[in-house]
Structure 1
Amino acid sequence: MKITSVKSRILSYDLDEELGYSQQYYNRRTAHLVEVRTDDGLVGWGECFGAGNFALGNKAIVEQVLAPLFIGQDPLDREVLWHRAYKMMRDHGQKGMPLESLSGIDIALWDIAGKAAGLPLHKLLGGAFRTELPVYGYGMMLKRGEDLPQRFHDEALELKDRGYAGLKMKVGIGPREDIKLVEAVRDALGPDGMLMVDANHAYTATEAFVVGKALGDLNVEWFEEPVAPEDRDGYRFLTSKLDVKIAGGEVEFSRWGWRDLLEGRGVDIAQPEVCAVGGVSEYLKVLTLAHTNFIPVINHVWGSGIAIATNLHLLAAMPDLPGAMSAVQPMLECDTTPHLFQDEILTEPLDVHGQVARRGTARVPDKPGIGVEIDLDAIKRFEIS
């Protein structure tokens, strides 16, 4: 079996309302899918992290830099191909967009491997420790010109009623204002509802310390990306001084980037993003590093139904940490804001939000590969490049 083509499919559509986080406001939804075809007729699908114009930049890397290294090769030689590609890119970028681009291709190769073997991804990874996963929903995005505390309070009440295991909210407009936002959501959820706070590296370490102290008092489960990913000293300071757990790593890349973060105890919870870290192949190495250092992993999930399905398998195949009769189970992160690419590009929707509403968990796909098939007519409807 040989790879015959590697193609990027960039999808986009306009949102009905503007959404924001600490770094920007946006009004378009974008996804970067990767389609890998073989001479046996098998097709694998992957996804690259990075929205908007970053997706267009990654398309060039996928098709002009990486594709020539993969076409004509055996798609089952995933490890050989990964290292060959990484070696060729090493002088030009060991992080960021090159790794995002490689991630999409690698995920597609695992999809092909599963289809070739007639096995779901979690079987290729050694089996499923669980067949269903609790889901936490993230929403409560920043928005201009509104009474944000009241808006966040009302949205939290609505999401609470849908049955999610926990909720995650955005902050990043300023320490005092952000604490008020968290207080509003805590009021809606009650004293014990699971609440996570995501700053998208909005603060200096000093500011994050002030906010983090308040979050500890408000019984927040974790404080996500409080400072810039480059600020390793800031992360270590916060993990050593705050009661609230520090989470991060969605924009860390490869085992080598993760090694120092984990060994330096920069995070209490590791959040690798499979569509950025280097794909499934590299995610598995990061997971091993994290568990070797006894740091729990809760995957970062941002993307289409392809990313969601891939993460369902990865979380299903993740061992408990620590191994115990009543170990805390991993959770699936799922975007609760309008997101047509979660289901409309699939021939059979995953319907994670509907599953949560009906029974409180999401099932792990059991079909070969990542377990979803792509609706090519939907792809054509949304495709911009």
Structure 2
Amino acid sequence: MRITKVVSHVLQYDLDEELGYSQQYYARRSAHIVEIQTDEGLTGWGECFGPGNVALANKVIVEQVIAPMIVGSDPRDREVLWHRVYNLLRDHGQKGMPIQALSGVDIALWDLFGKLTEQPLHQAIGGAFRQSVQVYGYGMMLTRGKGLEQRMAEDAAVIRESGYAATKMKIGLGVARDIELVSAVRDALGPDFPLMVDANHCYDVTDALQVGRELSRLGVAWFEEPVAPEDREGYRRLRDSLEVNIAGGEAEFTRWGWRDLLDAGCVDIAQPEVCALGGITEYLKVRALAHSRFVPIVNHVWGSAVAIALNIHLLMAMPDLPGAMFPRSPLLELDTTPNRFRDELLVSPLRITETVARDGAVTAPPGHGIGVEPDRDFMAAFEVGAS
């Protein structure tokens, strides 16, 4: 079997309503899907992290930089191909967009491997430790205008009543305003429902300490990306000073970046993003690094149904940490805001929200590899630059 073609599909549509987080407001939803074709008719699917113009730049890297390095190769040689691409790109970026692009390619190769060996991805990785995964939903995004406390409180109540195991909200409007928002959401949820807070690295350490103390008082489960990912000393100071768990890592890349992050003692909870850090090949190394230090993992998940299905497999295959008769199970992150690429991209939709409401947990789609098949007509309708 040989790789014959690598295709990058950047999908995009206008949202009905603008959404935001601490770094920007956005009015378009996007996804970057990678397709690898072979001479035996099998196709692998992957996804690259990175929205908007980042996805367009990554498309060029996938098709014009990485594809010539791997076309003609045996797709089963995942480790060989990963290192070939990384070594040739090392002088041009050991982090960021080149690794995001490589991630989507690597994921598609693993999807192919599962199809070729006729096994689901979680089995190809090593087997399932659990048959289903609980889900936490986040829908409390930032919006302009008045009434944000009420809106977030209402969103949180809907998520709680919809069967999710926990919820997460965005902050980033300033220390006093953010504390008001979290207080409003906590009041709506009640004292016992798990709540997480995501700052998307908007604070310096001084402000993060002030916010973090209030989050501890409000019973928040974790404080996500409180400071810039480069500020490892700041992360460690926060861990040493606050009771609330510190989570992060979605902006870290490869085993080498994660080695340094973990060795610096930056996080209580690791949040690797498989569609960015280097794909499944590298994710499994990062998982081993985190678990060797007894740092629990809650994957960062953002994107289309491809990324969601992929992460269900990864979490089913996640070993218990540290191991017990009744272990704490990993959670799947799910963006509950409107997303056609979550709900309509696949020939057989995942129907995550319906499944959560019925069962309180989800399981991987049936089939080999990741178990997803994008609808080509749907992709064509939303593909940037498609004729």
TM-score range, shorter chain: over 0.9
SS at match of 2:153: helix
Superposed, which structure 2 residues align to 1:186-335 within 5 Å? 186-335=186-335
Deviation at 1:146, TM superposition (A): 2.2
Shift of 1:363: 1.4
Cα-to-partner distance string for 1:142-181 (whole Å, 9 max, x where unaligned): 0001211111111111111111000000000001100110
Aligned to 1:136: 136
Q: How does 1:87-166 map to 2 (within 5 A)?
A: 87-166=87-166
CA distance in 1, matches of 2:151, 2:273: 29
The structural deviation recorded for 1:255 is 0.3
**Superposition deviation, residue 374 in structure 1:** 1.2
SS at match of 1:361: coil
CA distance in 1, matches of 2:151, 2:121: 40
Alpha-carbon distance in structure 2 between the residues aligned to 1:29 and 1:84: 33
Letter in 2 for 1:302: W
Aligned to 2:10: 10
CA offsets 1:203-258 (integer angstroms, 9 cap, x no match): 00110010000000100000000000000000000111100000000010000000
My pick for the range that moved more, 356-365 or 312-321, is 356-365
Give how far 1:265 is off: 1.1
The residue aligned with 1:22 is: 22
Q: CA deviation at 1:365?
A: 2.3
Letter in 1 for 2:223: F
Moved more, 36-45 or 154-163: 154-163
User: C-alpha separation between the residues in 2 aligned to 1:302 and 1:218?
Assistant: 27
Offset, 1:325: 0.9
The residue matched to 2:140 in structure 1 has which SS?
coil
What percent identity do the matched residue pairs reach? 63
Residue of structure 1 in register with 2:368 after alignment = 368
Which one-letter code corresponds to 2:258 in the other structure?
A: W
Q: CA deviation at 1:373?
A: 1.1
| Greater Cα shift, 145-154 or 232-241 | 145-154
1:48 maps to amino acid: C
Distance 1:325 1:180 in 2: 40
Give the partner amino acid of 2:332. L
Is 1:36 paired with 2:36? yes
Deviation at 1:30, TM superposition (A): 0.5
Amino acid at match of 1:242: L
CA distance in 1, matches of 2:239, 2:327: 22
Q: What SS does structure 2 have at the residue aligned with 1:89?
A: helix
Residues matched between the structures, number? 385
Instruction: Give the superposition deviation at 1:343.
Output: 2.5
State the one-letter code of the partner of 2:168.
Answer: K
TM-score, with structure 2 as normaliser: 0.99
Secondary structure at 2:114 match in 1:
helix
| CA distance, structure 2, for counterparts of residue 131 and residue 69 of structure 1 | 37
Paired position in structure 1 for 2:72: 72
Q: Secondary structure at the match of 1:228?
A: coil
Distance in 2, Cα, partners of 1:339 & 1:356: 16
CA deviation profile, 1:121-148 (whole Å, cap 9, x unmatched): 0010110011111000011100001211
Deviations 1:12-46 (A, max 9, x none): 00000000000000000000110000000000000
Partner Cα distance (1:135, 1:158) in 2 = 14
